[in-house]
């Protein structure tokens, strides 16, 4: 019964999210594929491509924005440089929204209580939410890789970029699952996860401009360390996998310790007194 309920919830989640997943995944694919199209049409000769790549590699602002400059005189290198950091953010935001939609939002609306009234184990709705995030990121990463391979780029580099995006989404989705256990509302969960995503981008940017040490503290940096289209290496993917395993274990442990509908962090009450702008009917209406 347990496995059956998880499967039913997963199928229900995917059915509810089919349009959301369609547009988010297509947007991510377009982000990568469009870079290949634009770069190849921008430089008619390899000499011009080499000259432009050399100027980009020396630009600190570009490195902070996009990542370490590797193989910028190739189409694949440009795609990895221009799209990988932002692709990881897109995957992370998608995962965050999916977790919030199928955990905190369900508890706030009361639908989770209705589901749990049936023959459903305590962990099954959370497991279904996690599997939904897994399916979404596998789909995103797989289609990103397939679009680049279809365009004519090297298979290894294309797979590396797709895998990096999928793993970043899974890491940030696991962070969101932990945040969902700590908070008692969707907005607070989004806030914590958004801060982690933003901090990951900043750490990666500072690390890439500096000696690179801080980049290893960022899930975005882990994906870029796979060196897509510039001598691929696969072992940094294990860091992301380990992070996902640890974060999921923490999320389940926290979930077992909290009551359904509440969070482990106590909600802060509002101010004891209304501010001057709330005094009177006009102030309340303005607020």
- CB-based contact 147:31 (threshold 8 Å): no
Q: How confident is the model at residue 253 (pLDDT cuts 50, 70, 90)?
A: very high
pLDDT of residue 284: 73
Helices (H) and strands (E) in the chain, counts: 13, 0
For residue 214, count CB atoms less than 10 angstroms from its CB and return exposed for 0-12, middle for 13-18, buried for 19 or more. Answer: middle
What is d(CA 127, CA 211) in angstroms, rounded to the nearest whole number? 39
Check pLDDT > 50 for residue 1: no
Number of domains forming the structure of the chain? 1
Check pLDDT > 50 for residue 128: yes
Which residues, including other chains, have CB under 8 Å from residue 16's CB and lie 6 or more apart? none
Q: What is the mean pLDDT of residues 81-87?
A: 95
Check pLDDT > 60 for residue 274: no
Check pLDDT > 80 for residue 179: yes
Predicted TM-score (pTM) of the model is 0.89
Q: Which structural domain range is residue 13 located in?
A: 2-286
More confident residue, 40 or 205: 205
């Amino acid at each position: 019964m347990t496995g059956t309920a998880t499967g039913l919830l997963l199928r229900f989640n995917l059915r509810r999210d089919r349009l959301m997943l369609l547009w988010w995944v297509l947007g991510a694919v377009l982000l990568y594929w469009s870079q290949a199209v634009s770069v190849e049409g921008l430089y008619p000769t390899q000499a011009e491509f080499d000259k432009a790549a050399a100027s980009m590699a020396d630009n600190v602002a570009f490195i902070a924005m996009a990542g370490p400059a590797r193989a910028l005189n190739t189409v694949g290198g440009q795609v990895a440089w221009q799209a990988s950091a932002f692709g990881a953010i897109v995957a992370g935001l998608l995962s965050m929204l999916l977790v919030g939609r199928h955990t905190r939002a369900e508890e706030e609306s009361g639908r989770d209580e209705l589901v749990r009234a049936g023959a459903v184990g305590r962990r099954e709705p959370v497991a279904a939410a996690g599997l939904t995030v897994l399916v979404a990121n596998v789909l995103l990463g797989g289609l990103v890789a397939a679009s680049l391979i279809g365009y004519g780029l090297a298979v290894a580099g294309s797979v590396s970029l797709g895998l990096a995006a999928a793993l970043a989404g899974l890491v940030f989705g696991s962070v969101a699952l932990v945040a969902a256990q700590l908070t008692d509302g969707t907005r607070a969960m989004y806030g914590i996860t958004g801060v982690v995503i933003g901090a990951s981008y900043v750490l990666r940017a500072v690390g890439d401009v500096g000696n690179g040490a801080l980049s290893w503290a960022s899930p975005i940096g882990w994906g870029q360390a796979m060196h897509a289209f510039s001598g691929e290496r696969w072992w940094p993917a294990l860091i992301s996998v380990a992070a996902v395993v640890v974060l999921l274990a923490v999320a389940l442990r926290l979930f077992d310790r909290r009551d359904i509908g509440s969070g482990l962090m106590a909600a802060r009450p509002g101010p004891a007194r209304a501010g001057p702008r709330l005094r009177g009917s006009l102030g309340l209406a303005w607020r």
